[in-house]
Structure 1
């Protein structure tokens, strides 16, 4: 009898992420992953007890992609670069991006992700004096706007001449407007 193939979690996650980028989270099955790896599904269950455990890791990897884009451009206003990172990830992985947003909205917030976001926000001179609740409110407003821009992009609602430069400028100026509004509201 042939020896059963073994794969590392990294190999399995890599194959799963590739499928999720192409087919979305719903289209990512253990059978498709096994086929891509040239195996049966049995070796996958050595590393992952079920599909949902693997889906959580795919979502975490997608979040890490946003931070990876951001880390490549770290500066004093790295939180603002998150908008650019989200736009780039959304364009690179459109199907997965939509699914991850939907997944996040249906599940408990990832406390590690929230801590990372708050830490990044606190590094910005304009944001460092806000409380956690205020930062989360700012973050929610900015995310709603960015996701709206991305939804408009996916839906074809933006002008045909809307370049990445235009969209990034729109995101940056709106982020500034939101933060300036919160600063003014705080000083009242």
Structure 2
């Protein structure tokens, strides 16, 4: 049976994503993706002008999956009987993504690449989501941005420790999601106290 000569764009992205999630973005080459599809390289170039365009599409696909993790955590939070903070939702989604896709998490946060400015849109969505949190509702956008950056610095460290299997043995009894939530609550409290002191 002759090799297929036409593939849908999404089929090619999925084949490239499968390589990237186990070997990283550098594994995306025309030959390797074509081999995964069982075809020549011609169908790839019918859909993507360059391999860089395909890598960019894989990054966008990955960010879409990350968004799905966030939306799933939002649904789970809504189903729980207690109020969940924005940071609980974001933190749980981030750690879940890191555990399922450790190679891609390292690729996206440890390596500089030209595709990540696209995540600016995701940041804006997170900042908007923070505004829906009753504790943060009266904070202005700049305050929420600063809090997001502070929380991300801690979350990134915790996430990288997780994906690189650097969580110390003595810490395995600690619920990392709970630790993330405690830190988020402490940052919010510290900012509120600082705001109150300024107002006095």
TM-score of Structure 1 vs Structure 2, range by shorter chain: 0.7 to 0.9
Residue 36 and residue 93 in structure 1: after superposition, are their counterparts in 2 closer, same or farther (change >3 A)?
same
2:6 is matched with which residue?
A: 6
Inter-partner Cα distance in structure 2 for 1:108 and 1:123: 25
Give the Å deviation of 1:105.
Answer: 6.9
2:43 is matched with which residue?
A: 43
1:176 maps to 2:185: yes
Tell me, yes or no, if the aligned pair for 1:62 and 1:100 is still in contact at 8 Å.
Answer: no
Tell me, yes or no, if the aligned pair for 2:16 and 2:33 is still in contact at 8 Å.
Answer: yes
Q: In structure 1, the residue corresponding to 2:137 is in which secondary structure? A: coil
CA offset digits 1:88-114 (Å, max 9, x no partner): 111111111110113567653534222
Inter-partner Cα distance in structure 2 for 1:164 and 1:90: 19
Deviation >6 Å, runs of 4+: none
What is the alpha-carbon root mean square deviation over aligned residues?
Answer: 2.4
- Segments of structure 2 that go 5 or more residues without pairing to the other structure are 79-83
2:97 is matched with which residue?
A: 89
Tell me, yes or no, if the aligned pair for 2:73 and 2:92 is still in contact at 8 Å.
Answer: no
> Quick check: 31-40 or 68-77, which moved more?
68-77
TM-score, structure 2 as length reference:
0.81
From the CA coordinates, give the structure whose radius of gyration is larger. Answer: 2
Tell me, yes or no, if the aligned pair for 1:34 and 1:41 is still in contact at 8 Å.
Answer: yes
Number of aligned residue pairs: give it. 187
1:162 is matched with which residue?
A: 171
- Segments of structure 1 that go 5 or more residues without pairing to the other structure are none
Q: In structure 2, the residue corresponding to 1:158 is in which secondary structure? A: coil
TM-score, structure 1 as length reference:
0.86
Inter-partner Cα distance in structure 2 for 1:8 and 1:31: 17
CA offset digits 1:97-151 (Å, max 9, x no partner): 1101135676535342222212221221112222222222111111111111122
